[in-house]
Amino acid sequence: MKVHLFGSFAKHKQREDSDIDLYVEFDPNVSIGLEFVKIYLDLKELTGREVDLVTEKSISKYIKSRVEQEKILIYERKAA
């Protein structure tokens, strides 16, 4: 799994009310299940902010190229 930051926080242009935009890449051989929801809830609680999680399957084709340009890898875990 890889987690990338994008959006206002990646560009250091966040405001007091900005959400945190994250692009999450899961290993295609691993079932995600409820892990996605747990990640969302944990991050929201830890940061005290709204969190926008997108994946390869859920990302809008209209923002995909922008995300690819802006993304900053902030976490990586190899599949076991």
Percent of the chain whose predicted confidence (pLDDT) is above 70: 99
CA distance 70 to 36: 22
- Domains in the chain, start-ordered, CATH in brackets? 2-76 (3.30.460.10)
When computed from its CA atoms, the radius of gyration of the chain, rounded to whole angstroms, is: 13
Higher pLDDT: 8 or 57? It is 8
For residue 66, which phi and psi values (nearest 5 degrees)? -65, -40
Res. 54 pLDDT band, cuts 50 70 90: very high
